[in-house]
Structure 1
Amino acid sequence: MREVISIHLGQGGIQTGNACWELYCLEHGIQPDGQMPSDKTIGGGDDAFNTFFSET
């Protein structure tokens, strides 16, 4: 498994990075607190969740 490290510099970089992670979470159905909704199975039919996230 590979990790994703994102480094954002300056106010614009921070805002862009924050917007990207919010979009990733929205696209993959992750709640704002970082949890998956209980009715979803991780790695089920759609493996898109595992593209950026791994629940430990």
Structure 2
Amino acid sequence: MRECISVHVGQAGVQMGNSCWELYCLEHGIQPDGQMPDDKTIGVADGSFNTFFSETGSGKHVPRTVFIDLEPTVVDEVRTGTYRQLYHPEQLISGKEDA
């Protein structure tokens, strides 16, 4: 099995990355909290979503990604956005002030 890790850096990278992960979730039937409903079969037959997501013991699908920005506001938008439960806090890295 192949695995893909995404690294999103800077304001544009974080904003584009957040949009991409929203699209990946929609394409693979994964909810904003990382759960996949039992009635979903999108991408399940071939397990293709495992390339981009890792599954936890509780059945939650977590993106294989890291968001990094020196300025915290854009990463904070991800932390408080619709898909905030999708990411582990260690995946959202920000500084305290702008460069």
**What is the TM-score with the length of structure 2 in the denominator?**
0.45
> Is residue 52 of structure 2 the alignment partner of residue 52 of structure 1?
yes
| Greater gyration radius | 2
Residue segments in structure 1 that go unaligned for 5+ positions in a row? none
Secondary structure of 2:14's partner?
helix
Secondary structure of 1:2's partner?
coil
Residue segments in structure 2 that go unaligned for 5+ positions in a row? 57-99
> Is residue 19 of structure 2 the alignment partner of residue 43 of structure 1?
no
Secondary structure of 1:4's partner?
coil
Task: Please list, as runs of the form range in 1=range in 2, the aligned pairs for 1:19-38 lying within 5 A after superposition.
Answer: 19-38=19-38
| Structure 1 segments (4+ residues) deviating >4 Å | none
- In 1, distance between residues paired with 2:8 and 2:50? 23
User: Given residue 43 of structure 1, which amino acid in structure 2 is its aligned partner?
Assistant: V
Pick the structure with more strand per residue.
2
* 1:16 aligned residue: 16
1:50 offset after TM fit, Å?
Answer: 4.6
Q: What is the root-mean-square deviation of aligned Cα atoms in Å?
A: 2.2
Percent identity between matched residues is: 78
**What is the TM-score with the length of structure 1 in the denominator?**
0.71
Pick the structure with more helix per residue.
1
Change (3 A) 1:8 1:50: closer
